[in-house]
Structure 1
Amino acid sequence: MSKLWLGLDVGTTSIKAAAYTPKGGQVAIADAASNVTQRADGGSEQDMEEIAETVRNVLREATKQCAGHEIAALGVAAQGDGIWCVAEDGSPAGPAMLWNDTRTASDLASLDETALTTIDRGCHTALWSGTSGMLWRWIRANRPDMAARTAHAVTCADWIAYQLTGHMATDFSDASIPFLDFATQTYSEAQLAALECSDLASKLQVPRRADTGLGSITAKAGADTGLPVGIPVSVGTLDLGAMIVGMGMDTPGQTMMILGTTAVVNILTDQVTPRDTPLAASVLHPTSDAVIRVLAPTTGAAAFDWFAGLHPQSLGGATAGEVADRLNLLVEKVPPGANGVTFLPYLNGERAPFVAPDIRGAFHGLSATTTTGDMGRAVMEGAVLSLRHCFMAEGGLPRAPVQLTGGGAKNPVWCQIIADVMGQPVLVSAAADHGLWGAAALGAAAAGLGDAVKLAAARADVFDTYTPQNHAAYERVFERYTTISQHQQALQVALSALPKDPS
């Protein structure tokens, strides 16, 4: 009987664990919701002890389902960024402050451009409010007792792995932002000084590869979870990194897209060109020397949901699939380019491939003959053209097939549009657990069972492949989209300068 590999994924709102055979067959899975406290001041926090207890409960349930099997290893992945402060005695120094915390927005806006450029030159990332350096500045100013108690500033994955093994470490993907110098793969004194966070240097963990062993399940953790005492645990990693490992990706030139509520373009590269204006984020791959460029427009499948919601009688449905089927029936009758209608998907501002928090979405090219189908296709095209815009900002269209995941990947019409716009086959796996599988493969690698990416790639994923059929037509559509987008950006600057409308 094969020994099982266990993967743990501690997300912001849910925690999952799954056990796999070495070929990727899922033997057990358990999950539970986790609580997030959203504060009126923009804070986003979690109780560190509560999260640890939920993890123990999920692992206990997954372990029960593995009765009769032997568990060989555990790999840990989790939400990234934010700051999880730990006291010298190993207890929380305060609540975890998460990646989507916005309390530091005004402080971030006040930073000198030189500071932002210094960060970008080191880790090739445009800072946002929920990064550790910005949150540490807030803690010092607003919770001095918490700052004084903090001996270790870690990530969620580090905290959970510490609970299981008694050892603390961070991996390169989680260490990337904002203080790691990618050139030396060490923390940069200049980057720490740029954010006035030199006092944080001694509290950071020296980064390690995520396929190395952190420690083993302690007697206490075994009693709490049912896991065998002594099984190896990998250094925790970023959930995105685990997902990319689970997809078998570690080579520059490979690309992956997520079409969820928001959309994400992930490009593996071995070279990042510095910019005068910082843009998007970069993280080091958990196990290789590749850099993952992460470009995340603010609107992905949310645009589809928004448009369908405007037509509850004609496009409504009991399930998301039913809604998609109704809109797809209309969209399939409309040619590429939506009969001249263009949709700019900036419903909540934009952050990639340009930063414009005040810009808003728009339809262009409406006429008396425009149909709901035209507008629906324009909405689906607009979200995809935004992703292509991100690729173009990073040097051009993908040169190899693109893997796609997320809720939008379940829509075949949308997947075909993506293939046509990108000019590359789009591969959609029937599996939706690449993060868990990647974490499990990292745990197996830490146990000495092989290379994590090769282990993950050994799973026989079944792909639906969408081959480009109308790429040439979308060359013209994309040119129209970028022209309108450029003018909309300029228009928004002018509109923002006008007196505000009375409330």
Structure 2
Amino acid sequence: MHYIAAFDLGTTAIKGVLLSQEGKIFAEHSFNIHTSLGENNEIEQNPEEWWEGVQSITHEWFSVHGVSSQSIKAITFSGQMEDVILIQEGENTTSAILYSDNRANIEAEEINKKLPGLYELTGNRITSSSPISKLLWLKKNSISNSDKRIHVVFSAKDYIIYKLTGSVVTDYTTAATSGFMNIESRKWETQLLSSLGIEQFMLPELTSSEQEVGQVSAFGANETGFCLHTPVLCGAGDAGASTLGAGAISEGDCYMYLGTTGWIAVPSKDHSPKDHGIFTLAHIIQELNISIAPLLNVGNVHRWAVEAFIQSGNYADFEDEVQKSPPGSNHLLFLPYVHGERCPVQDSEAKGAFWGIGPKTKKSDFARAVLEGICFSLFQIMQMLMQKNVGSITLIGGGARSHSWCQLLADLTNKTVRVPANSEYLPSIGIAATAFQSLGWVEDYKEFVDQYIISSQSKLYVPNKRNNEIYKDQYKIYLKLYESMKKIYQ
């Protein structure tokens, strides 16, 4: 039996999947990772913990399940993007600035003022979460007295590739979030480094997702158990992998990713920059881009609500509580901006809020209102993003395991919601397509999607028209909440 090893390095966990040549998951394992929150809202992780997670997963495969390392024919990755990870040869990296870290507000404003047309090249607005802003912050606050040249990568998976092979690379999808890549030519605009005085940072080599960027080194083999010289592919940032995993490879396709954070995405040939925090990313498929709207408040707010309202802290108990409240949560509304937000509003100071509490409001109404609020936020972005009608919506990510959440989305959008089997692992399955193509197991990505994704079993959620009418009225009020409340905290 031959396998592809696919790793998805998310915000809260690393998922590892062994996918057979027949497209079946043979083994999967997860490793939880921790996030450090600083005194000034710095958000960081330790990349060496990512490496520890990969080692834990491979140990599970080889020592517990008895998988032969020789049966693994290629290794590929997806991972969180917009990180800043500095690599200095011979040294472990113990601090990575995450995508959700907004410390570089001043630097973002400075870049936009100095380079007002930059977004026309990159396809994206420069914000405090952009790596280009974070690098300028590091130059000012952390390494201002150092002239040493330092490699930098922008995705968690790129650090693991470095540990396995010694190669410093990244893919086009990840690079599109950095603030340095020309979205049309898919090349670095290297003059930006010198124009901002950050030329000591060395950008990674740009490659396609299916490109072999190295082979497992002696160090990598000893640490993980992989065979020496096993091919390692560049893979893609999580948005690229998820787009393939959702089968979105043509214009007009649409899917939602419900993870710790989340997004809505559609493939497009349009290179032009968008407003309201919508990104234009390079699709794994060369001739396409991805119009993608990211949300900071998705599964993390779901988790917060479970811990806040359910004594057991159990998701199943939360689902039961949600079902005790009727659609519309007895007129209780929830603004889900617990962690600030980047789309449909770009406001790191935005707050979460309940509105409409009355004498008959119950705990179950609070629980249901949280899910409805997240769904309203998703629906608002969907209306901004879609240029034509969608037949159905594909949901992937851990949030798709919540039946209440899926039905709410179907009722609110008045669209059939499709949840593929193994939805939680679709980013890993999607990125495995790069290895299938690299090894010649499929002719192209369309064959992979047709054979291993579209044909897989899916659960369908059909909209309830009565509930849709309730949500239409609720949504009109929801749209007024942010504009009314932002005056309070600004």
Q: Which position in structure 2 is the counterpart of 1:240?
A: 239
Secondary structure at the aligned position of 2:252 is classed as coil
Secondary structure at the aligned position of 1:111 is classed as helix
Matches within 5 A, 1:160-175: 160-175=160-175
User: What is the letter of the counterpart of residue 160 of structure 1?
Assistant: I
Alpha-carbon deviations, 1:35-83, whole Å to 9, x = none?
A: 5444334444445455435434433442443139722111122222222
Counterpart CA distance in 2 for 1:68 and 1:489 is 53
5+ residue gaps in structure 1?
Answer: 498-503
Counterpart CA distance in 1 for 2:269 and 2:374 is 27
Q: Which position in structure 1 is the counterpart of 2:189?
A: 188
- C-alpha change, 1:133 and 1:308, in structure 2 (3 Å) is closer
Rg (Cα) greater in structure? 1
- C-alpha change, 1:150 and 1:131, in structure 2 (3 Å) is farther
- Asked if structure 2 preserves the Cα contact closer than 8 Å seen for 1:80 and 1:174, the reply is yes
User: What is the letter of the counterpart of residue 347 of structure 2?
Assistant: A
Secondary structure at the aligned position of 2:184 is classed as coil
Counterpart CA distance in 2 for 1:409 and 1:9 is 17
Matches within 5 A, 1:38-187: 38-49=37-48, 51-64=50-63, 65-67=66-68, 70-87=71-88, 89=89, 91=91, 95-108=95-108, 110-111=109-110, 113-114=112-113, 117-144=116-143, 148-155=147-154, 156-177=156-177, 178-187=179-188
Shift, 1:137, TM fit? 1.3
- C-alpha change, 1:348 and 1:232, in structure 2 (3 Å) is closer
- C-alpha change, 1:80 and 1:106, in structure 2 (3 Å) is same
- Asked if structure 2 preserves the Cα contact closer than 8 Å seen for 1:28 and 1:66, the reply is no
- The alignment of Structure 1 onto Structure 2 pairs a total of residues equal to 482
User: What is the letter of the counterpart of residue 469 of structure 1?
Assistant: N
- Asked if structure 2 preserves the Cα contact closer than 8 Å seen for 1:7 and 1:18, the reply is yes
Alpha-carbon deviations, 1:429-473, whole Å to 9, x = none?
A: 230211222333322322333334633553353210112232x86
Alpha-carbon deviations, 1:191-244, whole Å to 9, x = none?
A: 6577x15626x7213422101211222344333322222332111421232232
Q: Which position in structure 2 is the counterpart of 1:252?
A: 251
- C-alpha change, 1:261 and 1:6, in structure 2 (3 Å) is closer
Secondary structure at the aligned position of 1:390 is classed as helix
Counterpart CA distance in 1 for 2:43 and 2:332 is 39
Counterpart CA distance in 1 for 2:49 and 2:408 is 43
Secondary structure at the aligned position of 2:167 is classed as coil
Bigger shift: residues 266-275 or 75-84:
266-275
Aligned partner (choices 458, 464, 467) of residue 463 of structure 1:
458
Q: Which position in structure 1 is the counterpart of 2:280?
A: 282
Secondary structure at the aligned position of 2:448 is classed as helix
- Asked if structure 1 preserves the Cα contact closer than 8 Å seen for 2:3 and 2:73, the reply is yes
Alpha-carbon deviations, 1:386-440, whole Å to 9, x = none?
A: 1110012224575132111234322323312211222321111230211222333
Secondary structure at the aligned position of 1:343 is classed as strand
5+ residue gaps in structure 2?
Answer: none
Q: Which position in structure 1 is the counterpart of 2:488?
A: 495
- C-alpha change, 1:273 and 1:338, in structure 2 (3 Å) is farther
Over the matched positions of the two proteins, sequence identity in percent amounts to 23
Counterpart CA distance in 1 for 2:332 and 2:221 is 59
- C-alpha change, 1:230 and 1:348, in structure 2 (3 Å) is closer
- Asked if structure 2 preserves the Cα contact closer than 8 Å seen for 1:254 and 1:267, the reply is yes
The yes-or-no answer on 1:424 pairing with 2:423 is no
Aligned partner (choices 370, 373, 387) of residue 382 of structure 1:
373
Secondary structure at the aligned position of 1:296 is classed as strand
- Asked if structure 1 preserves the Cα contact closer than 8 Å seen for 2:164 and 2:220, the reply is yes
Alpha-carbon deviations, 1:322-374, whole Å to 9, x = none?
A: 2212321x23xx3x545655433333443211223444444455555656665
Bigger shift: residues 178-187 or 364-373:
364-373
- C-alpha change, 1:307 and 1:165, in structure 2 (3 Å) is closer
Shift, 1:134, TM fit? 1.8
Counterpart CA distance in 1 for 2:71 and 2:303 is 44
Counterpart CA distance in 2 for 1:153 and 1:32 is 25
Bigger shift: residues 113-122 or 404-413:
113-122
User: What is the letter of the counterpart of residue 165 of structure 1?
Assistant: T
The yes-or-no answer on 1:207 pairing with 2:206 is yes
- C-alpha change, 1:18 and 1:260, in structure 2 (3 Å) is closer
Q: Which position in structure 1 is the counterpart of 2:468?
A: 474
Counterpart CA distance in 2 for 1:68 and 1:142 is 44
Aligned partner (choices 284, 289, 292) of residue 291 of structure 1:
289
State the Cα RMSD in Å.
Answer: 3.4
The yes-or-no answer on 1:324 pairing with 2:319 is yes
Aligned partner (choices 439, 444, 457) of residue 447 of structure 1:
439
- Asked if structure 1 preserves the Cα contact closer than 8 Å seen for 2:62 and 2:69, the reply is no
Secondary structure at the aligned position of 2:435 is classed as helix
Counterpart CA distance in 1 for 2:307 and 2:165 is 47
- C-alpha change, 1:68 and 1:381, in structure 2 (3 Å) is closer
Counterpart CA distance in 1 for 2:388 and 2:470 is 15
Counterpart CA distance in 2 for 1:145 and 1:113 is 21
Counterpart CA distance in 1 for 2:45 and 2:352 is 33
TM-score, normalised to structure 1, is: 0.83
Bigger shift: residues 406-415 or 90-99:
90-99
User: What is the letter of the counterpart of residue 289 of structure 2?
Assistant: V
Counterpart CA distance in 1 for 2:210 and 2:163 is 19
- Asked if structure 1 preserves the Cα contact closer than 8 Å seen for 2:45 and 2:95, the reply is yes
- C-alpha change, 1:72 and 1:307, in structure 2 (3 Å) is closer
Shift, 1:171, TM fit? 0.7
